[in-house]
Amino acid sequence: MIEVVKLEKHYGEVKALKGVSFNVEKGEIVGFLGPNGAGKTTTMQIITGFLSPTSGEVKVDGENVSVDNMNVKRKIGYLPENNPIYNDLSVYDYLKFFADLKKVGNSKEEIKKVVSLTKIEDVLNRKIDTLSKGYKQRVGLAQAILGDPEILILDEPTTGLDPNQIVEIRNLIKELGKEKTVILSTHIMQEVEQTCERVIIINKGEIVADDKIENLQGKNRRVVVEVDRDVNEKFFERFGVVKTVGTNRFEIKTDDDIRKELSRYCFDNGILILELKVEFDDLETTFRKLTMVEG
- pLDDT band, very low/low/confident/very high, at 33 (cuts 50, 70, 90): very high
CB distance 36 to 202 below 8 Å:
no
Looking at the fold, whether 225 and 209 belong to one and the same domain comes out as no
| Residue 175, phi then psi, degrees to nearest 5 | -70, -45
Stretch 52-68: mean pLDDT: 91
Q: What is the pLDDT of residue 270?
A: 96
Q: In the predicted model, what is the mean pLDDT of residues 266-279?
A: 95
CA 104 to CA 100: how far, in whole Å? 6
194 pLDDT more than 80: yes
Do 246 and 122 reside in the same domain of the chain? no
Same domain, 264 and 225: yes
Q: What percent of the chain has pLDDT over 70?
A: 99
pLDDT for the residue 13: 92
Residues 9 and 152 in one domain: yes
Q: Do 125 and 141 reside in the same domain of the chain?
A: yes
278 in the same domain as 147: no
**First-to-last CA distance in the chain?**
40
274 touches 227 (CB < 8 A): yes
Mean local confidence (pLDDT), 164-176? 86
Q: What is the CATH number of the domain that holds 56?
A: 3.40.50.300
Round to whole Å and give the CA distance between 265 and 290: 35
| Domain C-terminal end among 159, 191, 215 | 215
To the question of pTM greater than 0.75 for the whole model, the response is yes
> d(Cα 134, Cα 161) in Å, to the nearest integer?
5
**Of 195, 215, 235, which residue sits at a domain end?**
215
Buried-exposed string 141-163: b where 16+ CB fall within 10 A, e elsewhere: bbbbbbbebebbbbbbbbbebee
Return the pLDDT at 293: 58
How many domains are contained in the chain?
A: 2
- What are the C-alpha distances in Å from 287 to residues 60, 126, 216, 290? 28, 40, 9, 5
User: What's the pLDDT score for residue 98?
Assistant: 92
Residue 62's domain comprises 2-215
**125: confidence class by pLDDT, cuts 50, 70, 90:** very high
CA distance 63 to 195: 28
8 A C-beta contact, residue 136 and residue 81: no
- The 3-class SS string of the chain reads CEEEEEEEEEECCEEEEEEEEEEECCCCEEEEECCCCCCHHHHHHHHCCCCCCCEEEEEECCEECCCCHHHHHCCEEEECCCCCCCCCCEHHHHHHHHHHHCCCCCHHHHHHHHHHHHCCHHHCCCEHHHCCHHHHHHHHHHHHHCCCCCEEEEECCCCCCCHHHHHHHHHHHHHHCCCCEEEEECCCHHHHHHHCCEEEEEECCEEEEEEEHHHHHHCCCEEEEEECCCCCHHHHHHHCEEEEEECCEEEEECCCCCHHHHHHHHHHCCCCEEEEEEECCCHHHHHHHHHCCCC
- Using pLDDT thresholds of 50, 70 and 90, give the confidence band for residue 294: very low
Exposure of 96 in the CB half-sphere (CA atoms within 13 A) = 8
Is residue 72 domain-shared with residue 175, that is, in the same domain? yes
| Each residue's pLDDT tens digit, 246-259 | 999 999 998 888 99
- Are 41 and 145 in the same domain? yes
Mean pLDDT of 154-181: 87
Q: Are 270 and 206 in the same domain?
A: no
The domain boundary residue, chosen from 172, 194, 215:
215
Q: 148 and 238 share a domain?
A: no
pLDDT of residue 40: 94
Q: How would residue 295 be classed by pLDDT, with cut points 50, 70 and 90?
A: very low
- Which residues partner with 244 through β-bridges? 250
Both 184 and 43 in a single domain? yes
Taking each helix axis from N to C end, the angle separating 91-101 and 133-145, rounded to the nearest 10 degrees, works out to 30
Looking at the structure, tell me whether residues 160 and 57 fall in a common domain.
Answer: yes
Q: For the residues 147-169, what does the mean pLDDT come to?
A: 88
62-93 per-position pLDDT tens digit: 889 988 778 888 899 999 887 767 889 999 99
CATH at residue 243: 3.30.70
